[in-house]
Structure 1
């Protein structure tokens, strides 16, 4: 989606530059055509013919040069797009160093051609790459550079793209334990989106005018995107708050995120079910095991009905909650099913977490066995 958007933006920029070059070319040709003031009719005729001749030659030469420039601009544009495709392919293959090389080459070419859309896209991809690699300081600088180009180009502060980058910066600050900056960042994202959605809601037509058609449907799609981004903001802040054991606040954010996702994506959408499972985990951490179990069981049931791609993760969460309620055998069965799915999906992160869960069950069983033996021994002594 982003790549296609970039393609359209690059083409638009090229068309504007080509049009301006064409106008400049004709203006130069006209200046060549302008003869000096004639001294006599004869001279005027001769100068006129010479002027027309030189004008024709000059116009022909300029057109050729202009065409060369257009070809060169097209070549550089194609090169940028090819480099970005190579970078994205490398990222999909986890070849991060190769992706970094391609992105730096694309960025250099984008700067040479003054292609701001390509510059922004490169900075954004490079920032995401740096974040994945754990280079948080570098990622912060790159996101700020991308935002600077966007804002200087006239993009509003409450544009979804700006807010999304601000959200990533807030997440970086959270990782860096820069609490004040993280809190401010999350608050800015949430308040900006909520205010924008309120304005859009007031501007929406009512009654018979409420059904958008054709191009009028685009604002509705933009509103949906804004709503989903708002849900992502709540989700991100919930994870930040949960990491700091602010569980009640995290619960509130997760409920808001879940409400938005259900409303926009449906109750069986994969992200809805993940949020449902995450909320159950927060309830479990608060000691509300029964509420947590009821919610996660519902999430797993829905996930089975739609073949959720991360069912192993949801099953692992449910197994953990069963463990905390003391239902050890049910927990083992759930973990084993989750492990089988994780191995099939080659989800090593889930495999590791599930194996840790099984080890915890084993320890609890051992503790329970010893406790039962001690109680039995006491009864015999009595």
Structure 2
């Protein structure tokens, strides 16, 4: 019991270090925690081990060790997909088996959540490499898991939809991106999520890219209003940048018109 308590404490310490960006010490503590957990008999594919492995993989990505980081993420995806596949096979083989216990259902949900996180990290990895098609595919998988486990109106689902839309924009699939963002804007507005601000600023950026300036201004202004109500400065920034970009474009159009008149 004492050692189990130590594992929990070490994991919490590592999480705090990760949150404040102390990646070097977070890495050391995660490694020590995983070593201790294995000594206690925890299985390598236990969800607690997978969660720590995933956090360790993200540390590698944050600190520029991309190769080892992506190997870690792929490992987490493979393990979680294997567990869920085995679970589905068990249900198919014996459909008359008694319903899962509450603990078993929670464990299955945790397995899915970790898989969704791994998909999302892998998607971000592809986006960093400007592999937007692959990034979109991973984000689509992450979205399916998020909507299944957390629901369609959860902030995580909205954020993933925003990331997917960004991939679509960069792939120049503008209509698909617009449809995705509009759906997320409506749903996030229905539940009064502040993430709606990020979705609107991204929609505004899409409209700027496609020269729909009035719609862009409307979207970014709406996004700024949502961010101000939430008193979230980080969400305000892209909205303000969008509006400033529009002002700059308007001035350029006016100047070009004046030049044409003089000619």
Q: TM-score normalized by structure 2?
A: 0.91
Please name the residue that 2:85 is paired with: 198
**Aligned positions of 1:232-381 closer than 5 A:** 232-374=117-259, 376-377=260-261, 381=263
The structure number with the bigger radius of gyration is: 1
Query: 1:265 Cα deviation (Å)?
Result: 3.0
Q: Which moved more, 1:261-270 or 1:148-157?
A: 261-270
Mind listing any 5+ residue stretches in structure 2 that lack a counterpart? none
Contact 2:217–2:243, Cα closer than 8 Å, also in 1: yes
Contact 1:193 1:226 in 2 (8 A): yes
The offset of 1:273, in angstroms, is 2.1
Counterpart check, 1:147 vs 2:25: no
How do residues 127-206 of structure 1 correspond to structure 2 at under 5 angstroms? Answer: 127-204=14-91
- Give the deviation of 1:140 after TM superposition: 0.7
Number of corresponding residues: 263
Matched, 1:120 2:16: no
**Greater CA drift, 219-228 or 141-150:** 219-228
Q: Counterparts of 1:131 and 1:272 in 2: how far apart (Å)?
A: 23
Equivalent runs, 1:4-83 vs 2, <5 Å: 13=1
Cα deviation for residue 263 of structure 1 reads 2.5
Correspondence for 1:228: 113
- Judge conservation of contact 2:194–2:226 (CA < 8 Å) in 1: no
Q: CA deviation at 1:173?
A: 0.7
Provide the rounded CA distance (Å) in 1 between the counterparts of 2:80 and 2:19.
26
CA shift in 2, pair 1:205/1:244, >3 Å: closer
Contact kept, 8 Å, 1:289 with 1:324, in 2: the verdict is: no
Instruction: Output the CA distance in 2 between the equivalents of 1:251 and 1:166.
Output: 24
**Deviation for aligned residue 1:358:** 1.9
Equivalents in 1 of 2:12, 2:247: separation in Å?
Answer: 44
Runs of 4+ in 1 over 4 A off after TM superposition: 205-208
- 1:144: Cα distance to partner? 0.8
Q: Is the 8 A contact 2:197 2:235 kept in 1?
A: yes
Unpaired runs of at least 5, structure 1: 1-12, 14-114
Partners of 1:180 and 1:190 lie apart in 2 by 16
Aligned mates of 1:372, 1:125 — CA distance in 2: 61
Structure with the larger RCO, 1 or 2 (CA within 8 Å, 6+ apart): 2
Cα RMSD of the aligned pairs, angstroms, is 2.0
Query: How far apart are the structure 1 equivalents of 2:97 and 2:222?
Result: 48
Flag the 1:298–1:262 CA change in 2: closer, same or farther, 3 A.
Answer: same
